[in-house]
Amino acid sequence: PVLRAQHLDRAEDERAPLAYLDAALTQRAAYFTEAAFRLVERGLQIAQKDTDRYALTCFKGELQRDLGDIPGSIATYRAAVATAPNEADLCQCQLGLAEGLRVCEGLAEALPLLDAAQQVAERLGKVPELARLHHLRGNILFPLGRIEDCRTEHERGLAYARQLGIPEAEARALGGLADAAYAQGRMRTAFEHFSRCVALSREHGFGRIEVANRSMAGFSRIFLNEACAAREDVSAAAYAAALVSQPRAQMLCETLGVFACYEMGDMPATLAHLEREMQIIRQLGARRFEAQNMEMRARGLLDSGHRREAAELLRQALAICREVGTQFSAPKAVSALSRAVEDDDERTRLLAEGADMLRRGAVGHNHLWFYRDAIEAMLSAGDAAGALHYATALEDYTRVEPLPWAELFVRRGRALAHAKHDHSEGTRRELERVRADLVEAGYSSYLPAIDAALAS
């Protein structure tokens, strides 16, 4: 296809621009994204027909997104929206524009675009567009904390995907349902859906879908107390994401590395992943991930005894969260800050604020980390009753779908709370059992408090 396009170009044949588009499609399918981009650029240079120019422009926007040039992709799709020759084409480029806006925090603008595109797609009976549209809307609702709406959208996307009978659409929809389960804190269900999505993608060679969901399988796996296994997959997943030109997937792989290494108490590795993650965050303009990156850096400072520096960094992270939306990571940033402050009244106020954020809607990992942080904050403040209260809250949140991670930290919190006033042999045995389970899970950074309780 590349030689054909070049041949037609040199002959000044009017078929050359679309031949370059065909060639670019084959190059992208083979994951040669930069080569595909150069072919599209050449096609645009010689295009004479508006229809040719429009088709090349839309694909250019898609390639820019693949290459991590999100502002460029958005600008290209805006131009395409303004020149769309008909309703069907307008629907397509509205979806492309919404994809870019999702990455760089333009969620409020993306939702009305999808509403407009849906009206056209339903009127024209465009089932592939409807499958993609509901999947994309579900992805946008995920960081907004609109959990039930997120699940509903992905279920609709799966229904359209199965109507199409196309494995690629079904793989995307399975990933969407997994996102919805993750957002609800149902991490076992999320892991099962993500694993099916990755397996289906691998079977059919859907590299971009595979890498987009591979790291998410790892995130959910952490809450099954398999952080070590999740960590082992990080490097291979990040390499695969780079191979298929998916910088957002690369960012998620580095984020997974942060989470897994932090849980296992490996701060040098955590910091290395944070550095690589931040480079991609800045490239993409993904500010909600910037806030979470700062939060995780602050946790490292907090664990090493630098409470004042940690508190300052967490306040900066929260300022970004309040700017781009609190549903993605603000509650767990607030709970981390509750561990960093020394004033009892401020700690109480922060935990009340975080609990209110959770009630208003937040992605599932916030509930899990918030309650664990709250238990830790209460234990550090010497408030055994408060620690028991938050241990019960964590247990209640996961009652519908119990998680090994939550069960372990509920037991740890209760054992440490009881140890403050109960020095019986039964309490000692439970501390020893919790310690053994923490060691088995690889959570070494959570051992010192247990060891101190056993020693006393």
Residue 230 belongs to domain with CATH number: 1.25.40.10
What is the spatial distance between Cα 254 and Cα 293, in angstroms, rounded to a whole number?
Answer: 10
**Contact residues for 448 (Cβ-Cβ < 8 A; gap 6+):** none
Phi, psi of 272 (to 5 degrees): -65, -45
Distance, in Å, from the CA atom of 277 to the CA atom of 279, rounded to the nearest integer, reads 5
Average pLDDT estimate for 295-306? 96
Helix (H, G, I), strand (E, B) or coil at 2: helix
Residue 170 placed within a domain: yes
Residue 272 lies in a domain: yes
Identify the pLDDT of residue 108: 87
For 321, half-sphere exposure in the C-beta direction (CA atoms, 13 angstrom radius) is 26
* Identity of the amino acid at 292: Q
Predicted pLDDT at 313: 98
Nearest to 131 by CA among 102, 91, 179: 91
Short-list 194, 207, 272, 216, CA closest to 241: 207
Confidence of residue 296 (pLDDT cuts 50, 70, 90): very high
Supply 170's token pair.
């079904």
Taking alpha carbons only, the member of 201, 225, 224 closest to residue 212 is 201
In a domain, 146, yes or no: yes
Report the pLDDT value the prediction gives residue 244, as an integer from 0 to 100: 81
Contacts of 272 (CB under 8 A, 6+ apart): 257
Nearest-angstrom CA–CA distance, 78 and 344: 51
pLDDT at 145: 81
3-state secondary structure of 351: helix
Extract the tokens encoding 33. Answer: 């994204």
- Between CA 26 and CA 35, with CA 32 as vertex, the angle to 5 degrees is 90
Tell me the pLDDT tens digit for each residue of 436-452.
Answer: 999 999 999 999 999 99
The answer to whether 153 and 137 have CB atoms below 8 angstroms apart is yes
Residue count of the chain: 456
Longest dimension (CA), the chain: 91
CB 324 within 8 A of CB 288: yes
- Rounded to a whole number of angstroms, the distance between the first and last alpha carbons of the chain is 75
Task: Write down the pLDDT at residue 30.
Answer: 87
In which band, very low, low, confident or very high, does the pLDDT at 52 lie, cut at 50, 70 and 90? very high
pLDDT at 87: 92
Contacts 24+ apart (CB under 8 A), 46-51: 46/9, 46/16, 46/17, 46/20, 47/17, 48/14, 48/17, 49/14, 49/17, 50/83, 50/85, 51/85
Question: Does the residue 288 lie in any domain?
Answer: no
Query: Would 409 be classed as within a structural domain?
Result: no
Q: Does 151 fall in a domain?
A: yes
* pTM as predicted: 0.85
Per-residue pLDDT reduced to its tens digit, 249-265: 999 999 999 999 999 99
pLDDT for res 369: 98
CA–CA gap between residue 330 and residue 353 (Å, rounded)? 10
Whether residue 91 contacts residue 126, with contact meaning beta carbons closer than 8 Å, is answered with yes
Question: Could you tell me the two tokens for 398?
Answer: 């996961």
The pLDDT score that the predictor gives to residue 233 is 84
SS3 233: coil
CA distances to 113, 234, 346, 436, 449 from 260, in Å: 36, 9, 30, 19, 20
Looking at the 3D structure of the chain, how many domains does it have? 1
Backbone φ, ψ for residue 49 (5° rounding): -85, 140
Specify the pLDDT at position 146. Answer: 87
- Top pLDDT among 275 and 104 is at 275
Tell me the percentage of the chain whose pLDDT exceeds 90.
Answer: 84
CA angle 27, 30, 35 (to 5 degrees): 35
**Residue 166 covered by a domain:** yes
Average pLDDT, the chain: 94
Conformational region of residue 109, where left means phi above 0, alpha means psi within -120 to 50, and beta covers everything else: alpha
pLDDT at 105 over 80: no
Name the token pair of 207.
Answer: 């590299």
Residue 241 domain boundaries:
126-276
In a domain, residue 158? The reply is: yes
Report pLDDT for 270.
Answer: 97
Cα-Cα-Cα-Cα dihedral sign, residues 136, 137, 138, 142: positive
pLDDT at 55: 94
